[in-house]
Amino acid sequence: MKTSKFRTMRQEMLADPVFRAEVAREKALMAEIDLATARQASGMTQEAVAAGMGKSQENVSRIERQRDVRVSTLAQFIQAQGGQLEINAVFSGKRVSLMRAEGAAPKTARQRA
């Protein structure tokens, strides 16, 4: 029952041209994030970033290939390279800082649970 309700809702959303345009816009934005290039610019290997994040090299490779990365994961990725993630919104030329992740250590397995 829930599955058919979900399908109907999904079909209705996809039929909405405004919704489809928003999804396309978000996909285009996410496609612009190139984490591998950022890592290479930092001069670090996937193994080094993985060690800084407390993850495996395979996980870092997966993160770099993902089209939709969580902000917390992105912040950890950048911080493992000695950088900081800043997210800003710009309204009529006025910049508003939405997030600034500085020096936060990656969560341990216990903190994630």
Q: Is residue 7 in some structural domain?
A: no
Structural domain span for residue 78: 33-112
User: Is 96 inside a domain boundary?
Assistant: yes
Can you state the angle between helices 71-79 and 35-42, rounded to 10 degrees? 20
Residue 15 belongs to some domain of the structure = no
Per-residue pLDDT of the chain (113 residues; tens, 9 = 90+): 566 887 888 888 888 888 888 877 777 665 567 899 989 999 999 999 999 999 999 999 999 998 788 999 999 999 999 999 888 888 898 988 887 665 444 444 444 44
Q: Domain for residue 2, yes or no? A: no
Question: How many domains, in total, are found in the chain?
Answer: 1
What is residue 110's predicted lDDT score, i.e. its pLDDT? 45
Give the CATH number of the domain where residue 101 resides.
1.10.260
DSSP secondary structure of 6-65: HHHHHHHHHH-HHHHHHHHHHHHHHHT--HHHHHHHHT--HHHHHHHHTS-HHHHHHHHH
At residue 102, the pLDDT reads: 54
Has residue 17 been placed in a domain? no
Any domain includes 78: yes
- 65 within domain boundaries: yes
Q: What is the predicted pLDDT for the residue at 17?
A: 87
